[in-house]
Every structure is written in C-alpha cells, then in structure tokens.
Chains A and B, each alone.
Chain A
Amino acid sequence: MTAGEVALICDMLRRRSGLTLPPEKAYLLESRLRPVVRKYGLADLSALSALVARRNPQVVADVVDAMTTNETLFFRDMKPFSMFRDLVLPALLGGRAAQRSFRILCAGASSGQEPYSLAMILAEEAARLQGWRCEIVAIDISTTALERARAGVYSQFEVQRGLPTRLLLKYFRPVGDNWQIAEELRAMVRFRDFNLLNDLAPFGRCDVIFCRNMLIYFDPATKARTLQNIARRLPADGFVFLGASETTMGLTDALVPIRTSSGVYRPQAATGPAVAAVAPSPAAPSGSSAASAA
C-alpha cells in the first residue's frame, strides 16, 4: 500500500468514526484489513483502498468495522456501575419522581455488554422502579457489533468476563455452547446504528450518558466536539460517565467531574450529586419503542 493509500483510508476513518490512527499505528491497517480484502476477493490492500476511494458504502462500513475496537465486557471496571447504582440512580429516583422516567444513552455500545449491564442493574432495582419508564438507548457505528448486541448471545468466555455468576444464573439461558440474555432484558435496550460524531439531537434529552473508552481514539478537536455534543443532550442535573483514562480537562468547560478521578461528570452549572426537579422528559425519539424496567 502506498503512503497515499494509507492516508486515504486514515482520512476516511477519521471522518467516519473519529478514529485517529497515528503513523506509528498504520501497521494495524495491514493486519486488521486483511480479512476485508479476503471477503471481497481482492488482490491486496491497494485494491481495497481503491474501493474506499470510490466510497463503496458496504466496503467503507466493513473497513470502519474492522478498524474500530469492539473490545468490551460486562460491568467493565465495576466502579462506574456501582456509582451508577449507588449515586446516580438514587439521584434520578429523587429528581425524576414527578415524571417517573429517565433515559440513558450508551455511546459505543459495541456488542451490548455495557447497556445490558445497566439493564441488569435496573432489573435488580425493579421493585423501586415499579411504574417508571426507563429507557436505555445504545448506539454504535459497527453494524456487526449491533447485530450481536441485539441477539444478546455471548460465548462462555464473554459471560465470565465481568459478569457475576449470580446474574448469569438469573438473566441468561444456555443456547448450545453459548448464553443468551433474557428476552425481558433485551427488550429494555434499544440499539441504534448511529455515529457519535453526528448531532445527538434525535435522542432528545438524555439524563445519563455513558461514553467510556471512546474519546481515547479521537484527536483533541474531535474529543472536544464530541464532549460538547454530549453536553448539549444533558439536562442541568444529568450525568456523564467517561473511561478511566479519559478527561474533559482542556477540552470543554461544559462538563466537570463530580470528584477527582471519579470518571463521572456533570454539567458545569450543577452542584452536588443531588438532582433537582426538572422539566418532564421529552417524548421518545420518533420510531422508537420505550422499554421499561418495571
């Protein structure tokens, strides 16, 4: 592959997914795109680059899919989920008592482990959420990952990575050598093929946004734009979860950490973890079906 062809693919990746591939990581193109070259029966990566240059939509989608990282696991890093359960959920239950509804957006949902982890937390709190409308909207640009997420079928390895056995027993059933998450949990999550770089307005107000381990792949300008995009969807008392190694520092003043190294951020104006009463939640985006944890 020539330097020009590498640049062409890298440019397309940055525009389509935000992924910034530094020159020292260009070798990843070789290894990760090899299966795409085989899939289309092409001679080499140069031929693939020619199809990308012609903006063949399926080829472009497959290249983005191959290059973006779909690494995830249930209850990844644990702490964000205990903070969601112990800090954010009680705040929502208090602050949204009048409208009894809230919406969670999971960006970069990949094969679904993060939104399903949240669904399990909500299901465990079903008694307290009786009569509540709890929406989980999960977005990703990888159609392959979303297909897997919707099916909710995971290998033996995947269900052991982060998922407590008690929850495996309660919410999964064996399907051959794999495990499928229960229908009622699958119904709680709405998966959408959506690019985080686009305006998130179609999702209306999002009370909690999980955007973990996405920004690390972006250049500073894209990070800042994404954080501002996220901040616009939050109510004054909303919450954002970022990855452990991610920060808003130097990127935006719109979001501030609730405390140092917590990974949890709130809009600048919000004070303290308690959620004040806010206006009723807007209707679900058109074409959506709301799911309820209760």
Chain B
Amino acid sequence: MSALRKTCLIVDDSRAIRAVARQLLEELGFDAREAANGLEAIASCREQMPDMILLDRNMPQLDGIGCVRAIRALPGGKEPKVIFCTTESSLMAIAEAIAAGADEYIMKPFDREILELKLSMVGI
C-alpha cells in the first residue's frame, strides 16, 4: 500500500517549518523526507526522485534557486513538481523561481487550504 503513496521532499533550513510541513503533507497522504539545505536536497533527489518538492528559497550552502536548477538538470529531475515556499513575496523573486524551474509558489505564511490548492494546481 505504501508504494502507492506519493512522495515528497521538504527542503527548509528551519527544523520547525519542516516539522509543520511534514505534518500537513503526511495528513494529505504523502511519504515525506526532509533536507536542511539545497545540497542535501540534491543528494536526496539523486538517491530517489520524489513526486513533489516543497522548497524554501533562502538557505545556507545552496539556496532554493540554485537547488531547483540543479535538480532539473539531474536525470529524471524534470519529473517532480516543485513548489517554492518562502517569505519572499516580491514579483521579481516569484518570477525568478518560476524561471528557474518551479511549478508553483507559496508565500509564507500559508495555511493548509493554500497548500492543498497549490498541490491540486500542479496535478498532485
């Protein structure tokens, strides 16, 4: 049964935010993995490409923009739906994320309904 569950990777340098996102996504039926920065996220994707990546923008070592570009360049890296989830809400920041390869963009703070709607928008 668990093989049928969608998988997601939560990428955020805040442990608290990862915990909240994990709880929400597990309630929505995802098997969740976590990464604390862009480099960890790429390593995780090399091991197993998830169905969806919830990606913070500002992180140490490698930020969200660099991370999504790198993941999109990996074998199978165009498959996962990438949803940015960040406090950055400027038009420029949103446009940059979409241009870098994100499918959707969530501006923090957000609620469960917004997350569900965004998942539905990307077809997950």
In the complex, chain A residues 161-188 whose Cβ is within 8 Å of any chain B Cβ: 161-162, 164-166, 168-169, 173-174
Q: Classify chain B's interface size.
A: 10 to 19
Q: Contact: A165 with B104, CB < 8 Å? A: yes
Q: Contact: B91 with A173, CB < 8 Å? A: yes
In the complex, chain A residues 63-80 whose Cβ is within 8 Å of any chain B Cβ: 73, 78
Q: A156-B89, A156-B107 are in contact. Are A161 and B117 (CB under 8 A)?
A: yes
CA distance A220 to B8 in the complex (A): 46
CA distance A156 to B109 in the complex (A): 9
Q: Contact: B91 with A169, CB < 8 Å? A: yes
Q: A169-B91, A169-B98, A174-B90 are in contact. Are A164 and B120 (CB under 8 A)?
A: no
Binary interface encoding of chain A residues 129-169 relative to chain B, with 1 for a CB under 8 A from any of its CBs, else 0: 00000000000000000000000000011001110111011
Q: Which residues of A contact B (CB under 8 A)?
A: 73, 78, 156-157, 160-162, 164-166, 168-169, 173-174
Chain A residues near B111: list those with CB within 8 A: 157
Chain B residues near A78: list those with CB within 8 A: 120-121
CA distance A169 to B103 in the complex (A): 13
Which 8 interchain pairs have the tightest Cβ spacing?
A: A165-B105, A160-B114, A165-B104, A156-B107, A164-B121, A162-B117, A169-B95, A174-B91
CA distance A73 to B118 in the complex (A): 13
B36 at the interface (CB under 8 A from A): no
Identity of the chain A residue whose Cβ is nearest the Cβ of B83 in the assembled complex: A165
Given contacts A164-B121, A168-B105, 5 further A-B contacts (CB under 8 A): A156-B107, A157-B110, A160-B106, A165-B98, A165-B102
Q: Contact: A160 with B98, CB < 8 Å? A: no
Chain A residues near B98: list those with CB within 8 A: 165-166, 169
B94 at the interface (CB under 8 A from A): yes
Identity of the chain A residue whose Cβ is nearest the Cβ of B95 in the assembled complex: A169
Q: Which residues of B contact A (CB under 8 A)?
A: 89-91, 94-95, 98, 102, 104-107, 110-111, 113-114, 117-118, 120-121
Point out the residue from B90, B94, B120 that lies within 8 Å of A165, measured CB to CB. B94
Q: Contact: A164 with B104, CB < 8 Å? A: yes
Chain B residues near A168: list those with CB within 8 A: 94, 105
CA distance A245 to B1 in the complex (A): 32
CA distance A162 to B90 in the complex (A): 19
Q: Contact: B94 with A160, CB < 8 Å? A: no
Identity of the chain B residue whose Cβ is nearest the Cβ of A162 in the assembled complex: B117
Chain B residues near A157: list those with CB within 8 A: 110-111, 114
Point out the residue from A73, A161, A162, A169 that lies within 8 Å of B94, measured CB to CB. A169
Chain A residues near B107: list those with CB within 8 A: 156, 160
